[in-house]
A = this chain, B = another copy of it.
Amino acid sequence: MGSKRPARREFLKSGAALAGGFALGGAAPAIGQTPSSPPMLKGDKDLIAYGERSRFVTSVRIAHGGRPSPDGFGLVFHVASPLQDSVGVITPSSLHFVGTTRGSYIPEIDPQEHRLMIHGMVDRPLTFTMEDLKRLPSVTRLHFIECAGNRTSPKAKTVQETHGMTSCAEWTGVPLSLLLKECGLKGSASWFVAEGSEEVKGASSIPIGKGMDDCLVAYGMNGEALRPQQGFPLRLMVPGFEGIFHTKYLRRIKVTDRYYMNYNDYGHLDRESDEAALGFQIGPKSVITFPSGGQQLPGRGFYEIRGLAWSGGGAVRKVEVSTDGGKRWNDAEIKGTAQRMAHARFTYQWNWDGNETELLSRCTDELGSVQPSRAQVAKFFNKPLDESFSVPGLDNTIQPWRIASDGSVRNGNA
């Protein structure tokens, strides 16, 4: 981890380095005495059946960055996850980001009535009930989903606003390859169109190679059924691809020999060709979640810098952190084993000297692809780098957080 990393024993050596310092535990009551007992709440039947969080925990998703959908069908609705409060790798299902074209409306689907039909260029079209699908061989994998609209806008103040449209969960379902094999692909099959039970269908064209590789027809999420906002009862997982491909309320897969234009293509084809070509797979990306915009460091001293890294190209291989605006880069620690197309949690131990500085993180994935800076992307597209520069396609540029000498943190892109 290099010489920049403070030794383990230094955290508490001077208590004053931490906010207020640790109190010496002087007059300890004997074990058996009760200093004070907290109030007790009686759990009712509902709490026994299905627990809830503490009323003192108030971390919530926020609606952010929505805009009218291009066809006037509704609102492109963004509900962002509170990454500033995230711990570990899993996003709780209740806090998983939501992207939808239907405002806050959620299809209410009875799983008994739900069907998945696979047809088109196959030898044998098949229709599956939920019970059919659950009876088949299953896989469980950790995967992120990220909305293409997850971008580090100069106007965004917090990491929830800059990066809250990504989340990571443990998904369980049937490999799509198994279903496609059973239907029998015709030789000319080269694409498939996945369609969900929404007015706008949520349809997307996806290469058949991706479908045979690692797509998942998922009915489970974080150990229970999918949540309605995440596509209950069935969602297509397209690991590493933009969120819009992860078709919610999946009801139909049509195998084709060509790309079909669909409602969802507004995001890819409604713009310049440069940007349209950048669809599908998400590049290597990372963001520091603590300290991040809007937070306040109580003073100089030790901090554990924490963040998330991910890539559509596979597993995160390396995360580097700079605490001096990019002059020097230091290897961060990746917690546990980074999974393919999943968030990885990274940390870096930092002693802040109280001076103004800028914190950055940079992800390298298993393909060796490295997360770029905004300056690199602007140069690549031969555009001037100013605050109005919008990264074409999904923005995976490095997020700078500026630390002021008073400990306040703000968006370095602003």
Q: Which A residues contact B (CB, under 8 angstroms)?
A: 8-9, 11-12, 18-20, 22-26, 28, 31-32, 34-35, 37-44, 47-57, 59-63, 79, 85-96, 98, 102-112, 117-120, 124-129, 131-132, 135-141, 170-172, 178, 181-182, 193, 195, 197-199, 201, 203, 219-220, 222-225, 227-230, 232-233, 249, 251-252, 254, 260, 262, 302-304, 306, 335-337, 339, 345, 347, 349
One of B56, B124, B137, B335 near A349 (C-beta < 8 A): B137
B118 and A25 form a contact (CB under 8 A): yes
Query: Residue among A23, A38, A233, A304 with the most chain B CB within 10 A?
Result: A38
Report chain B residues within 8 Å CB of A128: 22
Cβ contact of A135, chosen from B35, B41, B304, cutoff 8 A: B304
B38, B136, B203: the one contacting A197 at CB < 8 Å is B38
14 contacts between A and B (CB under 8 A): A25-B126, A28-B119, A28-B125, A41-B106, A42-B105, A43-B105, A51-B227, A51-B229, A53-B227, A56-B109, A57-B232, A87-B219, A140-B336, A336-B339
Q: B140 to A335, Cβ gap below 8 A?
A: yes
- Which partner residue on chain B sits nearest A120 by CB separation? B28
Q: Counting chain B CB atoms within 10 Å of each CB, which of A54, A117, A181 scores highest?
A: A54
A232 to chain B, nearest CB (A): 5
Select from chain B the residue with minimum beta-carbon distance to A339.
B336
Closest to A168 in B: B223
Q: How far in angstroms is the closest Cβ of chain B from A111?
A: 6
Chain B CB within 10 Å — which of A57, A178, A252 has the most?
Answer: A57
| A131 partner, pick from B19, B42, B62, B124, beta carbons under 8 A | B19
Inter-chain CA distance A20–B254, complex, in Å, is 23
- The answer to whether A193 and B50 have CB atoms under 8 Å apart is no
Count of this chain's copies in the oligomeric assembly = 2
By a CB distance below 8 angstroms, the chain B residues around A50 are 53, 60-61, 94-95
Rounded to whole angstroms, the CA-CA distance of A94 and B49 in the bound complex is 8
Interchain CB contact under 8 A, A8 and B178: yes
- 9 nearest CB pairs, A to B: A87-B220, A25-B125, A49-B60, A43-B104, A88-B140, A90-B223, A87-B172, A23-B127, A40-B105
- Report Cα–Cα, A229/B138, bound state, in Å: 31
Which B residues are CB-close (under 8 A) to A230? Answer: 51
Complexed CA–CA distance, A227 and B137 (Å): 33
Contact A43 B106, CB 8 Å, known A52-B94, A222-B88: yes
Do A108 and B225 touch (CB < 8 A)? no
Whole-angstrom CA separation of A48 from B171 in the bound complex:
22
Which residues of B lie under 8 Å from residue A182 when comparing CB positions?
A: 9, 11-12
Indicate if the CB atoms of B349 and A172 lie closer than 8 Å: no
Q: Residues of B contacting A228 with CB < 8 Å? A: 41, 51-54
Q: What residues of chain B lie closer than 8 Å to A223, measured between beta carbons?
A: 86-92, 95
- By a CB distance below 8 angstroms, the chain B residues around A127 are 22-25
A170–B304 alpha-carbon span in the complex (Å): 19
Query: Are A229 and B105 closer than 8 Å at their CB atoms?
Result: no
B222:A40 contact, CB within 8 angstroms: no
B104:A19 contact, CB within 8 angstroms = no
